[in-house]
Structure 1
Amino acid sequence: MVTIRDIAKRAGVSVSTASRALNNHPKISQKTRDKIQALADEMGYMPNYNAKNLTNGVSNAIGVVFPPGELSPASNPFYVDILMGINEELRARNGVLSVAIANTMAELTANVESLISQGLIRYFVLLYSKSNDPVIKLLRAQKVNYVVIGDPNADDECYVNNDNQLAGQKAGEYLIHKFETKRTLFVESDPEQGFERKRRMGFQKAMAAAEVPTEVLKLPKQSEFRLDQAVAQFLTTRSTIEGIVTTDDALGLMIYQLLWRQLNRDVPLISFNRNRSNNFLMGESVRFVELYPQSMGAAAVRVLFDPQKRSEMIPFTIER
């Protein structure tokens, strides 16, 4: 294996000069940097990123922080797709992932603190965005770089997001124009999450503009015993509903199966997110607001490592 010592010997310079040249140190002339880099390429030199980062006191890993919860969010296909995007972008940068998952916010904060102190991680992606978050307070106190996927909670916070309010509005307009709906329902599970609230606000704006009556059904964040029966009872008393929008595909699948299996009704339904491995949520009257989570994950890495970039907005589409 070719080492920096081999390159330094071949170039007739010290090891420290060769190392600085390969790291574009400003005190090394551009001519020398070009010469050393050309030799490194010719000799097939492969840098040891782990050793380099440990020398600098930093791990070449990104800490990915999942929202806390009793039911592991790591199994959510939306988060899996985000991870795939993060990992793909990291490979080009010779980086790796380190994950923080916990049931409670206190455990999650301790997990992140351990990654900073023991793993020497200085870059984090939060797969959620909530105000007064103790994890964010910790990251700020430690002067650690981070980006949230969702709405920023401060003017100086880096973030990646969709325009959720516009997406909710367009989903509502689609129901009205495509299916000519006269009465609608919006189903959400966690309005504390800013993206759900904004999707609802956009949807309600579209309904108000078209003077179409609508209701909002707020379900628990986690599955409860006989929840589907309770929802089925609710839908039974709303037989005039002609269009439904759900904030994610898990809710969409539950609503769709209830309508199809128990109520024998075909109601146009638009779901945010799309789990492409799920073939049960499909039909002529089913549509998806595609948010492109892999693109969101890749964008989060770009925002983290580009000091000139503070945010990226990922476009959405509505498709079958």
Structure 2
Amino acid sequence: MAVTIKDVAKMANVAPSTVSRVIANHPRISDKTKKRVREAMEHLGYHPNFIARSLANQSTRVIGLVMPGSAGVFFQNPFFPTVLQGLSEGADEKQYALQLTTGKTDEEIYEGVVQMVQGGRVDGVVLLYSKVEDKLMMYLKERAFPFVMVGKPFKFVEEITHVDNDNFRATKEAAEHMLDLGHERIAFIGGDLNLVVTIERLLGYEKALREAGHPLRDDYIIHEEFLREGGREAVNELMTLKEPPTALIVADDLMALGVLNTLDDMNIRVPEDISIISFNNVLMAEMSKPPLTSVDINIFDLGYQAAKSLIQKIEDPKEPIKRVIVPHQIIKRCSCTNAPKQQKKNP
């Protein structure tokens, strides 16, 4: 005979409604009562029927995750599996499940999210990106459907809850680190210009150079995909310049790996001939040759805070709009050193 919620209530000496609230992790139930009820559930082998509860509450307890592109590209870059771990832990704490979009194009992803929302498959959505132009974000906003962004919105910043780093400041600090080492010819390898993170980091780079009195050079700014191939293409272009840079700021560790591989093919030494600082501080940054100096943006926490913020919005529609800033720090390794003595002054 199946164990029921009434059996758990009887053993824990509480009302069945209290057991339901403990299952839902209701904040008004004391930790002592929660502990007693959970011990009774474990002793009796009781497992809540979340499907039945969802039907009764008109809630799926599922969060939709929207990727910036196809799943194939998504899992090539270690940023996304790491942010997914944070999302998973944040969702699991409140007993929510995750559902990924599976479209291969922007249009397929859009249609998939519309089906998620209108089909009642999810209670809320996390956008794992922030674009300059994004009709999906506008669709969710216009429907007043609960959603959170990982990244700073390009528009409606005060109207959308988002979790982000201070990317402007982080990149300014990265550029200042190179300037402190005596570098003047500093290039920037960024991602897609339709991504707000790229714009924020580019502005931070430019601000540091202006404050140091160095002119900005258009040929030192290149934008590619956040993939190893993007790094290869960018550094091939930079190192064929008449006056190549002595330092690189690369917006992603995976791109930086492509940069390192290509420089090695060119017999250009890191850091003796050129210094590199990248972003994300994933495992490959530590394991590369040489180990990369990288800006740790606490990717796991970006995901965890996004899940936490979305669930708060789902469970309390009056939850105020907020911006959660996850701290960053530069992890110094072996890919940066003082500028080569033969470095020429900028014209």
Deviation at 1:301, TM superposition (A): 1.2
Give the Cα–Cα distance (whole angstroms) in 2 for the partners of residues 227 and 76 of structure 1. 13
SS of the aligned residue for 1:52 comes to: helix
Residue 171 of structure 2 corresponds to residue 172 of structure 1: no
Residue 326 of structure 2 corresponds to residue 314 of structure 1: yes
Deviation at 1:8, TM superposition (A): 5.8
Deviation at 1:226, TM superposition (A): 10
Q: Which amino acid aligns with 1:43?
A: A
Give the Cα–Cα distance (whole angstroms) in 1 for the partners of residues 138 and 278 of structure 2. 33
1:40 alignment counterpart: 37
Q: Is the 8 A contact 2:250 2:278 kept in 1?
A: yes
Moved more, 266-275 or 110-119: 110-119
Q: Kindly tell me the number of residue pairs found equivalent between the two proteins.
A: 309
Q: 2:255 aligns with which of 246, 251, 255?
A: 251
Residue 279 of structure 2 corresponds to residue 272 of structure 1: yes
Moved more, 59-68 or 303-312: 303-312
Q: Which runs of 5+ in 1 are unaligned?
A: 25-29
Deviation at 1:57, TM superposition (A): 1.7
Q: 2:300 aligns with which of 291, 294, 302?
A: 294
Give the Cα–Cα distance (whole angstroms) in 2 for the partners of residues 74 and 173 of structure 1. 32
In the TM superposition, 1:195-214 aligns within 5 A as 195-214=197-216
TM-score (norm 1): 0.83
Q: Which amino acid aligns with 2:299?
A: P
SS of the aligned residue for 1:75 comes to: coil
- Percent of aligned pairs sharing the same letter: 26
Could you say if the C-alpha distance between residues 170 and 223 of structure 1 is closer, same or farther in structure 2, counting changes exceeding 3 Å?
A: closer
Deviation at 1:279, TM superposition (A): 5.9
Q: 1:23 aligns with which of 14, 21, 25?
A: 21
Could you say if the C-alpha distance between residues 310 and 255 of structure 1 is closer, same or farther in structure 2, counting changes exceeding 3 Å?
A: same
Could you say if the C-alpha distance between residues 281 and 213 of structure 1 is closer, same or farther in structure 2, counting changes exceeding 3 Å?
A: farther
Quote the RMSD (CA, aligned, Å): 3.3
1:49 alignment counterpart: 50
2:100 alignment counterpart: 99
Q: Which runs of 5+ in 2 are unaligned?
A: 23-27, 313-318, 334-347
Give the Cα–Cα distance (whole angstroms) in 2 for the partners of residues 43 and 70 of structure 1. 42
Residue 165 of structure 2 corresponds to residue 162 of structure 1: yes
TM-score (norm 2): 0.77
Give the Cα–Cα distance (whole angstroms) in 2 for the partners of residues 93 and 271 of structure 1. 34
Give the Cα–Cα distance (whole angstroms) in 1 for the partners of residues 119 and 298 of structure 2. 33
Runs of 4+ in 1 over 6 A off after TM superposition: 9-13, 33-39, 222-227
2:187 alignment counterpart: 185
Give the Cα–Cα distance (whole angstroms) in 2 for the partners of residues 182 and 245 of structure 1. 12
Moved more, 65-74 or 168-177: 65-74
SS of the aligned residue for 2:149 comes to: strand
Deviation at 1:35, TM superposition (A): 11
Q: Which amino acid aligns with 1:189?
A: G
Moved more, 56-65 or 223-232: 223-232
